[in-house]
Structure 1
Amino acid sequence: MILLDGKLLSAQIKQEIAADVAQIKAEGGKIPHLVAILVGTAGRSETYVASKMKSCEEVGMHSTLIRFDDDVTEAELLAAVTDVNNNPDMDGLIVQLPLPKHINPDKVMETILPAKDVDGFHPINIGRMAKGLPAYVSATPQGILEMLKRYDISTSGKHCVVVGRSQIVGLPMSILMQRNDYPGNCTVTLTHSKTQNLAEICRSADILIAALGRPEFITADMVKEGAVVIDVGLERVPDATKKSGFALKGDVKFDEVAPKTSYITPVPGGVGLMTICSLMQNTLKAARREVY
């Protein structure tokens, strides 16, 4: 079993991005600028956004955080998005999800200019990704592809099972893994909460990608010997033995599944760190106008 070390890879990728940004600066070019909009003070969202802003600083990018209270109106939020769209100094924009119930997230995502949609959530970017055209790919799926590539994991002709059909991870992941490219060329089965014989399908996977948001749902009896297991989950589970009162768990029951695998991601220290790196890579592309 080989651990797919997101901490190691993310450090390498950040060094590469930092070198690119330093070269842009030395040549008198425009420094990439990421803008994050955060609504409310939910602990998890605060943590995610803080990590993204810190990563910008580490690689030499500019960043701006725009905050709103939970009671911000949809019109006010859309106006802020439009302001960023119209600001030529701001290259990439993310609106941290989830949003309060009175705000339609699809309307917000569709208001972001596709050229600044470094999260890859705009329908135009999703459509371009599905057609194999240049696009901003959702950060988590892109991070997983980067991990598979850097560990030189074979994908051609393999059976890839994706558990979870969210538009952020599961759906784009299933499309990317079947594309005629590397990583790709898999036969893909996309499963979800209504899938019958889920355990049997998972056992047939050469590459199993768990992205359903249910802690330790994937157990050893659902994984075949030698499989590659990618765990996208990250949930807080009560744990009295921890000073914080909780432990971070993925969708995979790591201790019992890991011995059966050829490669597996840890939680934490796996996919999450790659997601942030992908966001930085997309912001660099946006500053260079590589996609649009």
Structure 2
Amino acid sequence: MSAVRIDGNAVAADVRANVARAVRALPGQPGLAVVLVGDDAASEVYVRNKVKATAEAGMISHHHRLPASASQSDVETLIARLNADPDVDGILLQLPLPAGLNADAAIERIDPAKDVDGLTEVSAGRLSLGKPGLRPCTPVGSVILAKRALGDNLSGKHAVVIGRSILVGKPAALLFLAENCTVTIAHSRSADLPALCRTADILVPAVGKPEMVRGDWVKPGAAVIDVGINRVPAPEKGEGKTRLVGDAHFESCAEVAGFITPVPGGVGPMTIACLLRNTVLAACARRGWPVPQDL
């Protein structure tokens, strides 16, 4: 068996196209504010990509940069200003923050109505209770990819999420539960993890351990939605070179699975696409606009 590769770039392009159509149908332009603190090189790339994608979708991008020397008060004061700005529908605080700053405290200052990352306690509570709210982008993208592979009706499927982080593992489990899946959250203390994974119709590795999941962990025909993004040495490319791999060993898993996301090019592109989608949803909720059907 050779798994069907789920093209995250193509699915993300579809989501972004839907967002752009939705924006054109709205009575005004949603606005996304991205806050970058410090000069982390990877964060600068992520922010640049988010700003570009926001503009391409027809939305207004509000880009705010603070120096690495910024205090906790500086960050929280900026967030308060963005909370009060009627032209800002979504606020994204780019992580990680420089050493010495408390990211959790800063995130909690974000108005939940503008929490397009879905990370505040209010957003997490609404997800847990099944109430409407903004959901974390990467887990939402994972569900969309699973549906693209297995169809829109995931009811009755067994989803095994490896990882219990508040960023991906727990919200992903709750989102699959909302799709009427039977959900197991596995982690480092789970007994006989490979056997547990072999029961999954949808396997979601999200632990940050390069190529941990091997082919003999996968149920034949399952969908593997690999959330891991790990940089590992690639001596074949030259001294000091690296490459990106997921939490699943792609080659061996692809021999058994029915569907699998590659790394890169799988879940990663979905994160920005779902961020744009969340910004439109936030704008509609805040401004009383009808939610476009395409979303």
Report TM bin, short chain.
Answer: over 0.9
8 Å contact kept, 2:147–2:154: no
Call closer, same or farther: CA 1:291–1:6 in 2, change over 3 Å: farther
8 Å contact kept, 1:125–1:135: yes
Deviation at 1:69, TM superposition (A): 2.2
What whole-Å deviation, never above 9, does each CA across 1:120-144 have from its counterpart, x for those lacking one?
0011111111111111000011111
Separation of aligned partners in 2, 1:114 and 1:93? 9
Structure 2 residue aligned with 1:18: 20
1:286 matched to 2:285? The reply is no
8 Å contact kept, 1:226–1:262: yes
Call closer, same or farther: CA 1:133–1:291 in 2, change over 3 Å: farther
State how 1:59-138 maps to structure 2 within 5 Å.
59-138=57-136
**Identity in percent:** 42
Gaps of 5+ in 1: none
Structure 2 residue aligned with 1:6: 8
8 Å contact kept, 1:57–1:63: yes
What whole-Å deviation, never above 9, does each CA across 1:225-267 have from its counterpart, x for those lacking one?
1111000011221213337821111111101111201111111
Aligned length: 284
Structure 2 residue aligned with 1:40: 38
Structure 2 residue aligned with 1:227: 222
> What is the SS of the residue equivalent to 1:78?
helix
Gaps of 5+ in 2: 289-295
Query: Which has the higher relative contact order, 1 or 2, with Cα contacts under 8 A spaced 6 or more apart?
Result: 2
Call closer, same or farther: CA 1:188–1:291 in 2, change over 3 Å: farther
Separation of aligned partners in 2, 1:30 and 1:153? 31
Superposed CA RMSD: 1.7
Structure 2 residue aligned with 1:164: 163
Call closer, same or farther: CA 1:61–1:94 in 2, change over 3 Å: same
Which of 185, 200, 203 matches 1:205? 200
Call closer, same or farther: CA 1:155–1:245 in 2, change over 3 Å: same
**Divergent runs of 4+, >6 A:** none
Separation of aligned partners in 1, 2:284 and 2:152? 30
Call closer, same or farther: CA 1:291–1:156 in 2, change over 3 Å: farther
- Structure 2 residue identity aligned to 1:270: G
> What is the SS of the residue equivalent to 2:17?
helix
Structure 1 residue aligned with 2:260: 264
**What is the TM-score when the length of structure 1 is the normalising length?**
0.92
Deviation at 1:177, TM superposition (A): 1.2
Separation of aligned partners in 2, 1:41 and 1:217? 32
State how 1:45-60 maps to structure 2 within 5 Å.
45-60=43-58
Deviation at 1:155, TM superposition (A): 2.4
What whole-Å deviation, never above 9, does each CA across 1:258-286 have from its counterpart, x for those lacking one?
12011111111111111111100010111
> What is the SS of the residue equivalent to 1:289?
helix
> What is the SS of the residue equivalent to 1:282?
helix
Separation of aligned partners in 2, 1:240 and 1:153? 42
